[in-house]
Amino acid sequence: MRLSKGALLVIVAVLVPIVVELRTALSWFGITLSVLETVVVGLAVVAAILAWAVWPQEDESAMDEHRSD
């Protein structure tokens, strides 16, 4: 896992106001999002971050094998 569970919790907690404010900022440009659409966007962002966080990291030794001089 790339991040600790506490760090993931903090990231999700920070994402909530960012998604809400994104909805407000988009309304300035005439783009309106319903509450349901905002929830779907927020869940998609959280799912992407969770997928990245639980994806196994590549070992340094494996990375060295792939490099060519």
pLDDT of 62 above 60: no
Domain count, the chain: 1
Q: Which residue range forms the structural domain that includes residue 50?
A: 5-66
Tell me: pLDDT of 3 over 90.
no
Which is higher by pLDDT, 47 or 65?
47
Whether 44 has a pLDDT exceeding 90, the answer reads: yes
For the chain, give the mean pLDDT.
Answer: 85
Mapping DSSP onto H, E and C, the string for the chain reads CCCCHHHHHHHHHHHHHHHHHHHHHHHHCCCCCCHHHHHHHHHHHHHHHHHHHHCCCCCHHHHHHHCCC
